[in-house]
Amino acid sequence: MERLTIAMIRAVLSFVCGTLLMRLFYPDKGFLFAAGLGLLLFGLAYLSEAWRRRRAKKQ
- What are the tens digits of pLDDT across the range 11-50? 999 999 999 999 999 999 888 998 999 999 999 999 999 8
Predicted TM-score (pTM) of the model is 0.80
For residue 47, the enclosing domain spans 3-58
* 37 CB-contact burial (10 Å; exposed 0-12 / middle 13-18 / buried 19+): buried
* pLDDT for 18: 92
* pLDDT for 59: 74
Distance CA 8, CA 35 (A): 15
* 22 CB-contact burial (10 Å; exposed 0-12 / middle 13-18 / buried 19+): buried
Domain count along the chain: 1
* pLDDT for 58: 78
Q: Are 34 and 22 in contact (CB under 8 A)?
A: yes
* pLDDT for 25: 93
